[in-house]
Structures are given as C-alpha cells and as structure tokens.
Structure 1
Amino acid sequence: MAQRMHLRLSPDVMAKFEDYSPEERIRAVLAIKAPNDQRFSSKFIEEQCQLREVKMLSEKSAIVTFAFKVDVYYCNGSGNLHGGAQSSIFDMCTSIALQAIGKKDFWLNGGVTRVITVNCLRPAPEGEDLLLECEVVQMGRSLALTQGVLKREKDGVIVSTCEHHKAAVPTKPGWKL
C-alpha cells in the first residue's frame, strides 16, 4: 500500500505563519517540497508555479500573479494545456491566493471548493509562458469568491478564465498546514 504524503509547513514556519506578510505566506506554501510525491498538484507547485506579484487591494481583497510554462505533462493529445489541467491549476492558485488575506484561525487552510467554473477560450501550446492573475474578490467568515485570468505572457491574450467559490472549513484534526 502506498504511503500517503501530507504536505506540511515546517513547525518553525507554522509557529509564525499568521504573522508573515501576504507574500511571505504565499512563498511559504509554494516552498513546501515532497520530492517523492507524484501527485499533479505537487509537481505543478514544486516545478512550474512561480510567484510574480502580490498586490493588496484592501484588507480583504488582493491580486496574486503566478507564472508558469506549459509542460508536456499537463497537455492533451493536441499538445495544448488540457482543460482539466487548467481547472486544477486555477483551483490550486486561487486557493493559494487566499493566503494574502488569511489571518489567525481565518482561511489559513485555503478552504474547500463549492463551485469552480472555467472557460477555456484559446489553446496554450506546450512551451508557452503563461501568467495567472488570481483575484480574491470577496472573503467573509465562511465563504469567499476568487477569480482567475490565465494569459499568454508574451502578449497578454486571455487563454481562459475562472470563477471559484470557496467555503471555509476547520482544519482536519491532527492536520497541520
């Protein structure tokens, strides 16, 4: 039976995570490494996803920009970024963007998806450099709305869009971020 991997922040980071700046929290999440973890999410976060910018719009709103190159691992048979991969990437990145707002006992685990809607508008071929702008539009005690826009880095043309509704949930007992 395969051993389950739980990606966690180190105890040192966890102890002061809520005191970090929005950018420091996001960088800490992106820095989690599990080299033997073969999950899609681990490969993307560890090998492709790079934080470009965190722009705070208000106390409960931010735009977080990530960059990545389309890897063959995420492509469909036509050599373009798969729509399902785009949905997963939007899910991960819009959830990580919540860390820009998170505070002690408030959204520090990213919550769970209620509804995610992705609109794929044009292909993104293997090797294409992309930017993903994730906006935390609204964030309350138990519900949040994020939006994402995936663009070609070279010309800003939109590849796909996302609307992601999230619900806050308590962290599973024994589970640490």
Structure 2
Amino acid sequence: MRSISDLKAMSPEERINAFLNVQSKGDHGFLAKFTEEQCKLHEIKQVSPTEIIVTFAFKVDRWYCNMSGNLHGGAQASIFDVLTSVALQAVTTKDGWLNAGVSRTLLCTYLRPAPEGEELLLDCEMIHIGKSLALLKGVLKRKRDGAIISTCEHNKAFVDSKPWLSKM
C-alpha cells in the first residue's frame, strides 16, 4: 500500500505506471484487462507545472469491439474516462485529486471507426485544474497516420476520499 505522501513524491511517469499497474486479484473485468495488460504509457509532455499531455498506446482488442468489428463507442467512453483521470492524477498534489475526483460530464464525439487490431494513441490533456473542478481533453487517433478516431471533453469534480490507495 502506498500513502498519499509516497504518491506526491513520485514523478508523473511513476504515478501513471503505478495507476496502470494496480493489480486486482481475480478481477477479469474491462478495466483490469485494459490497464494492466494492454494500455501502455507512450509519452509525457510537461507543458507547465500544472499542465501535462499524456499519451497512451494500445491496440484495439476484440474484447472491446462491437458487432461490426470496431472499437465500441461505450468502450471508448470508458477508456477516455479512465485515462484522462490518470493524466490528472499524474500532476496533482491535492489529496482528493489524487483519487481522480468524480466525473461531472463526459462528452464524446466519434469521427471514424477503429477496427480490431488497429494500433491507437490517446492524447490526454489537462486543460484546467482548480480547487473543486477540472477540465480534461482526450483525442484518440490511429498510430499509423494520426487520423482522429474520437475526442472527449471530461469535466471532473473534487472529492475527498481515497478508497483506491489500499490497492496500490
């Protein structure tokens, strides 16, 4: 188990990898498989002390596809939710934001399909973080040519709880 002070002492890259590697024994669900086995940190761009762009890489797995063989919109929304939150956690020092807060809104716009096997990159950008609200942006694109698959705008609210810390 890691403490809040342990997390605060970590670099953004160390935090991201810690969040992606939270092992949940016996958890065979969507998030466990995706974060622990498939999604990898690709790049971090520190724009300022409180602004960061985190890029994740993953391949479209059949598990997340719809009946037409493309990445399901609901899976994309879940991926945006989780990974934009991880980007937020990478740079914050407020205890409640270390728990990623809670989603207020998640607006996704889908532009083109991402077929099974396609390698994707997801840029997660922290636009603003305040005392009680944060705004994040996600852009999902094909790795081979940078074509945009979908985008999201994610609004979050601060909460003061830390239930996930015992899993780390």
Give TM class, smaller chain. over 0.9
2:59 corresponds to which letter in structure 1? Answer: K
Partner of residue 54 from structure 1, selected from 44, 52, 58? 44
For residue 171 of structure 1, give the secondary structure of its aligned residue in structure 2.
Answer: coil
The answer as to whether partners of 2:52 and 2:125 remain within 8 angstroms in 1 is: yes
The 1-side partners of 2:106 and 2:63 are apart by 22
Say if 1:149 and 1:161, in contact at 8 Å, map to a contact too.
yes
Among candidates 141, 149, 152, match of residue 142 of structure 2: 152
**Distance in structure 1 (CA, Å) of the matches to 2:84 and 2:58:** 15
Q: 1:163–1:104: structure 2 CA closer, same or farther, 3 Å change rule?
A: closer
User: What does residue range 3-42 of structure 1 map to in structure 2 within 5 Å?
Assistant: 10-11=1-2, 16-42=6-32
Higher relative contact order at CA 8 Å, sep ≥6: structure 1 or structure 2? 2
The correspondence for 1:80, drawn from 49, 63, 70, is: 70
Query: What corresponds to 2:113 in structure 1?
Result: 123
TM-score between the two structures when normalised by the length of structure 1: 0.89
Task: Look up the equivalent residue of 1:157 and give its one-letter code.
Answer: A
Q: Report how many residues are paired.
A: 165
Mapping of residues 88-127 of structure 1, within 5 Å:
88-127=78-117
TM-score scaled by structure 2?
0.93
Residue type of the alignment partner of 2:21 = A
User: Larger % of helix: which?
Assistant: 2
Answer with 99-108 or 18-27: which moved more: 99-108
Contact conserved, 1:51 with 1:67, CA < 8 A, in 2? Answer: yes
Pair 1:176–1:74, CA change in 2 (3 A): closer
Q: Is the 8 A contact 1:106 1:141 kept in 2?
A: no
| Post-superposition offset of 1:163 | 0.3
- Which position in structure 2 is the counterpart of 1:3? none
Question: What's the CA shift for 1:64?
Answer: 0.3
Unaligned runs of 5+ in 1: 1-9
Partner residue in 1 for 2:58 = 68
Equivalent-residue separation in structure 2 for 1:91 and 1:103 (angstroms): 20
Does structure 2 conserve the Cα–Cα contact (< 8 Å) formed by 1:54 and 1:100?
no
Residue 161 (str. 1) matches residue 130 (str. 2)? no
Q: Distance in 2 between matches of 1:52 and 1:63?
A: 11
Structure 2, unaligned runs of 5 or more: none
1:14 and 1:43 mapped to 2: Cα distance? 26
Residue 110 of structure 1 aligns to a residue in which SS? coil
Q: Percent identity?
A: 58
CA RMSD of aligned residues (A): 1.4
Residue 39 of structure 1 deviates from its aligned partner by 2.1
